[in-house]
Structures are given as C-alpha cells and as structure tokens.
Structure 1
Amino acid sequence: MVKSFQGVRVVEPKKAANPILVKDHMSTNLVTFQPEDSIDHVLEMLTKRKISGAPVVDKSGELVGIISEVDCLKEIIKGKYSNTPSFPGSVSEHMTQNVITLSPDMSLFDAAQKFLELKIRRFPVMRDGKLVGQISLSDIIRAFPKLKSTTW
C-alpha cells in the first residue's frame, strides 16, 4: 500500500477573467449620414469607405435611423424602372427608423447572440442616449480568434 505524504492540496480559485465587452471591439470613428442626404452620396461614401451601412443622425447629433446597402438597393431598383442613372432619393425615405441599439458595456457573447436572433449586420452603440460607436457582425467575427483560452 502506497501512502502520500504531500498533505492536503489547496486548489486556488480561478481568477475571474475580464469580461469581453462591445466597447472593446466597436468602431468609434464613424461615417454618419443625415436624413436629407441623397442616396447618391450614401452610395459614394459606402463604396469609398468600404462599409455596408452607417448611422443616420439629425442636425443635433441624435440617432434617427440607420442606412445600409440593402436600403440603397430600393432606390437603385426605382432608378432602373424610371431609367434614371442617378439616385436622388433621400436617406429619410429609405433608412430604417426603428433602430435597435446596444450598450458599450454589453458582453460580446450577448451581442453575438443578438446578431443571430435579429439577423442584423450592425448595431449602433449608445451610452446615455448618445451615439458612441457601432459594432458590426464583422467586428464580432474578427474579435473571437484573438481571444485566448484563459479569457474565453
């Protein structure tokens, strides 16, 4: 019979890992549009900046909607039927007005779940009623490979 003389082992509790938050992975240098901007302008900026959508703010900086490539497609189709090579429609005519926003302090895992549930490609990030950033599905996807097993 073999006896151990190591005594009682004390297992140290795992340290709580810092939560992985939206604010650590969101974009803060945002392109924004105003409701009176033309779809021509939106298409030019989306193409130039290689983005697929952006928040819409009024003159006081309040979030009033979000415009995406899919929203712009409505104006493009309308232009095809009227044989118009330009797209003079306004952002206010095509933007999504009932915008779902996220908090910068939301867990990245909870945000990922929102993307799955709602099938939305981007969420404006709001703190105290102010637009502070935007997180996209691409931001979420880029964040996870960088995580280490200890922070998972």
Structure 2
Amino acid sequence: MLKSIKVRSYMTRHPLTFRPEMDLFTAIERLLKHGLTAAPVVDARGELIGILSEADCLRATLAGAYHDDAHGAVGQYMTVVPDTIDVDADIIKAAEGLLLDQRQRLPVLDNGRLVGVLSRHDVLRAVKAFAWHDTDRGD
C-alpha cells in the first residue's frame, strides 16, 4: 500500500542549499542552473532556517525594480519557518501537504535536522514505482 512508503525512500538527499548571507542573484542563478523552484536556507550549523522560492525571488526583484535597488541577501527575502515534513512520514501525507499548500517541494527533517527535500516529482516517482509493482504482481 502507498501509505507504507516513507518519505525517506524517495526524497532528494543532499539538496542544494543556500546560506542567508548569499547574494540573492547568486541564489537565483543556482536555482535556474539546477532547474529548481525553491531550495532550503540553512545556518552555519546546517540547520533549516528558511526556504527561498521563485516567488520570493520575484517579489524581491519586483520590489527592487520599484525602488531602483535590486540587490540583497537571501536572508532578507527567504520564507522563514517553512512547512516541513518528517523523514518517516508516508507519501500520502506528503502528497496531501504539497497539494493543500500548493507547494512544489518540502524540506525533510529527521529529529529537527535537514536531511533532504521531497518534491512533487519525487512523489510521482513513488506512485509510479508502486503502480509498476502492482502490475508485476498481477493485481
């Protein structure tokens, strides 16, 4: 059953992360280079402190264009206290959270520490693997 599949089995381990002092345009460049819609922001100890999304970047650049001052650091524009999911949560809970909150991805925590990111794409991989497994069993 799909509920028995844990987030840890399909999350992206060692995700791209940003530091709050990183230049916003450097972060935008990295998001584009990696084809991501968002990435976690971590402090010097590697603890999750926020997430920087495409929407955050757009808000920052639009505000900068309006005020003729389009620069700054990731920490100024990131979403603080982002939604997260536990590494041992089931994929169904993850899918519900992604859909209800219209998120593209969620940081994955294990005992409060960032251990990965789960995206909609990752959930679809789990669904495909489950469907393929059922087909193989003849169900």
Q: TM-score, normalised by structure 1?
A: 0.79
**Where in structure 2 are the equivalents of 1:95-106 lying within 5 Å?**
95-106=78-89
Q: Which amino acid aligns with 2:55?
A: V
User: Against the structure 1 CA distance between its residues 18 and 113, is the aligned structure 2 distance closer, same or farther, given a 3 Å change threshold?
Assistant: closer
Pick the structure with greater CA Rg.
Answer: 1
CA distance in 2: counterparts of 1:95 and 1:36, whole angstroms: 11
User: What is the RMSD computed on CA atoms of the aligned residues?
Assistant: 2.1
In structure 1, the residue matched to 2:114 is: 131
**Where in structure 2 are the equivalents of 1:51-70 lying within 5 Å?**
51-70=36-55
CA distance in 1: counterparts of 2:62 and 2:81, whole angstroms: 23
Q: Does the CA-based 8 Å contact 2:11-2:117 persist in structure 1?
A: yes
In the TM superposition, residue 52 of structure 1 has moved relative to its aligned partner by 1.1
Unaligned runs of 5+ in 1: 1-15
Q: Which amino acid aligns with 2:92?
A: F
CA distance in 2: counterparts of 1:27 and 1:17, whole angstroms: 19
In the TM superposition, residue 75 of structure 1 has moved relative to its aligned partner by 1.6
Q: Which amino acid aligns with 1:60?
A: R
In structure 1, the residue matched to 2:128 is: 145
Q: Does the CA-based 8 Å contact 2:3-2:92 persist in structure 1?
A: no
**Where in structure 2 are the equivalents of 1:1-152 lying within 5 Å?**
19-83=4-68, 87-147=70-130, 148-149=133-134
Q: Does the CA-based 8 Å contact 2:40-2:48 persist in structure 1?
A: yes
In the TM superposition, residue 17 of structure 1 has moved relative to its aligned partner by 8.5
Percent of paired sites with the same residue: 35
Q: TM-score, normalised by structure 2?
A: 0.86
Unaligned runs of 5+ in 2: none
Aligned residues: 134
